[in-house]
Amino acid sequence: MDVRQLTYFTEVAKQQSFTKAAHKLHVTQPTISKMVRQLESELGTTLLDRSSKHVQLTDAGDVVFERAIQIIQMVDEVHLALEDMEHLKTGHLTLGMPPLIGILFFPQIMKGFQQLFPDISFQLDEIGANIVKERVLSGDLDGGFVMLPAHDEDYDCIPFVKKDVYVIVHNDHPLATKSTISMRDLENEPLLLFSEDFTLHDRIIQECEDFGFEPTIAFESSQWEFISQMIEHNLGIALFPEPFAHKTNPNVVKMIPLEKPILWEIAFILKKDRYRSQAMRAFLDYVKKNSNLE
């Protein structure tokens, strides 16, 4: 058994396909199939059920998959530690963040950080916060920016931004005359929400339920610009973090604070107990020094 066999096996399990795994790892399908069969032969058991369209883990495969992920991560950390000894100011980081956060903060973070560390490179995955959390926990991402909460037992969290959430309504909407809005005022109002993989989506629904009603969801989108246009046509009401509320058109819509504030808290998260390279430690230090907390 070697690490390459485990890498091929775990990728097939993640992709549920030999073809997709081969494409992801830049090898041929026969090569990856051969390596997985060798692993099964060495272990004396079947790890993958190939009888359906999507490849599935067997009971034995579940056990091996969990251990294989840990072994691969440990080997990766050994390589990182050795590279750190030789290249203290170089490295590569794979980060995840929702597009909302990326639009607002990432360019200015990158500009300042790369002036200090020009030889540290990045791969950025723009995905919803819930997916970022999953991929940080699985080890597919080195870290990521997300909206809190995150499970404290799984992650180390470095606070970065704290802002209020505002209600955004068309100027002709009856609620536009109010100086503050209660969540109760939004009962039966058509709400325009960010899509389900955004933490703010679940947070708003939970706030509505805490006030004793199920929200009327008119539309969901991952694009704040699209939601803004819907509001400008008076097709619904949205709740935006303050930085995005200020980007809306004040000639057409109004931003109104909530009576009971909802905080938009952004943090950088890492998996607990994972090895942190010199590059990651430098990035964490920069994030801490340039947080935007009020």
The tens digit of pLDDT for each residue in 142-184 reads 999 998 887 778 999 999 999 999 999 999 999 999 999 999 9
pLDDT tens, residue by residue, 20-72: 999 999 999 999 999 999 999 999 999 999 988 899 999 999 999 999 998 98
- Residue 17 and residue 72 in one domain: yes
What letter does residue 88 receive in the DSSP assignment? T
| Residue 27 maps to a domain | yes
pLDDT tens, residue by residue, 71-83: 988 888 787 777 6
pLDDT tens, residue by residue, 224-269: 899 999 999 999 999 999 999 999 999 999 999 999 999 999 999 9
State residue 2's pLDDT score.
87
| Residue 281 maps to a domain | yes
Tell me the average pLDDT across 92-105: 87
CA nearest to 264, candidates 242, 245, 247: 242
Any residues with CB less than 8 A from the CB of 132 and at least 6 apart, and which?
Answer: 96, 97, 98, 125, 141, 144, 145, 146, 269
- Residue 169 and residue 255 in one domain: yes
CATH code at position 42: 1.10.10.10
Tell me the average pLDDT across 188-208: 92
Range of the domain at 142: 88-157+272-289
State residue 52's pLDDT score.
85
Q: Is the pLDDT of residue 118 over 60?
A: yes
- Residue 281 and residue 219 in one domain: no
Please give the C-alpha separations between residue 205 and each of 153, 169, 211, 225, 231, in angstroms, as whole numbers.
24, 18, 10, 21, 19
Contact 171, 102 (CB under 8 A): no
Tell me the average pLDDT across 186-214: 93
User: Which residues share a beta bridge with 258?
Assistant: 181
| Residue 294 maps to a domain | no
CATH code at position 107: 3.40.190.10
Q: Is the pLDDT of residue 217 over 70?
A: yes
- Residue 178 and residue 223 in one domain: yes
Number of domains within the chain:
3
- Residue 210 and residue 169 in one domain: yes
Tell me the average pLDDT across 184-209: 92
Q: What percent of the chain has pLDDT over 90?
A: 66
- Residue 187 and residue 217 in one domain: yes
- Residue 130 and residue 187 in one domain: no
CATH code at position 227: 3.40.190.290
DSSP letters for 168-216: EEETTSGGGG-SSB-GGGGTTSEEEEE-TTSHHHHHHHHHHHHTT---E
- Residue 61 and residue 115 in one domain: no
Any residues with CB less than 8 A from the CB of 102 and at least 6 apart, and which?
Answer: 124, 126
Checking DSSP bridges between strand 237-241 and strand 91-97, what pairing results, if any? unpaired
| Residue 54 maps to a domain | yes
- Residue 133 and residue 276 in one domain: yes
Band (86; pLDDT cuts 50, 70, 90): low
User: Which residues share a beta bridge with 241?
Assistant: 165
Contact 135, 196 (CB under 8 A): no
State residue 166's pLDDT score.
97
State residue 236's pLDDT score.
96
- Residue 170 and residue 152 in one domain: no
| Residue 276 maps to a domain | yes
CA nearest to 93, candidates 272, 290, 275: 275
- Residue 65 and residue 110 in one domain: no
| Residue 180 maps to a domain | yes
d(CA 45, CA 60): 7
Q: Is the pLDDT of residue 4 over 70?
A: yes
Q: For residue 126, what is the enclosing H or E element?
A: strand 120-126
State residue 84's pLDDT score.
63
Contact 172, 234 (CB under 8 A): yes
User: pTM of this prediction?
Assistant: 0.65
Q: Is the pLDDT of residue 87 over 70?
A: no
| Residue 143 maps to a domain | yes
| Residue 176 maps to a domain | yes
- Residue 149 and residue 277 in one domain: yes
DSSP letters for 244-286: HHTTS-TTTEEEEEBSS--EEEEEEEEETT----HHHHHHHHH
Contact 200, 244 (CB under 8 A): no
Tell me the average pLDDT across 184-202: 92
